[in-house]
Amino acid sequence: MTASGKVIAGVRTVIADVVNGLLEVTHNGFALLGLVVVFAAVTLTARPDLRQIGEDELRGWLHARQVAEDGFPLEPAASDRAMAINPSELPREQAAVAYWLSKKYRVAPEPLAALVTEAYEIGSRTKLDPTLILAIIAVESSFNPFAQSAVGAQGLMQVMTRVHTDKYEGFGGQLAAFDPVANLRVGVKVLQECIARAGSLEGGLRYYVGAANLPDDGGYVAKVLAEHFRLRQVAGERKAAKPVLSTKAPAAPETAQPAGEKVALLDGGV
Over residues 215-246, the pLDDT tens digits come to: 888 999 999 999 999 999 999 875 555 555 54
| Of 23-27, 122-126, 256-260, minimum mean pLDDT range | 256-260
| Of 140-154, 226-240, 246-260, minimum mean pLDDT range | 246-260
CA distance 257 to 212: 8
Over residues 115-127, the pLDDT tens digits come to: 999 999 999 999 9
**Higher pLDDT, residue 249 or 85:** 85
pLDDT of residue 261: 46
pLDDT of residue 1: 63
Topology classification of domain 87-265: Lysozyme (1.10.530)
* Residues 12, 14, 20, 22, Cα dihedral to 10°: -120
The mean pLDDT of the chain is: 77
Kindly tell me the burial class for residue 186, based on how many C-beta atoms sit within 10 Å of its own C-beta (0-12, 13-18, 19 or more): buried
Q: Is the pLDDT of residue 18 over 80?
A: no
Q: Is the pLDDT of residue 176 over 60?
A: yes
Region 15-21: mean pLDDT is 57
**Cα–Cα–Cα angle for 28, 55, 53, nearest 5°?**
95
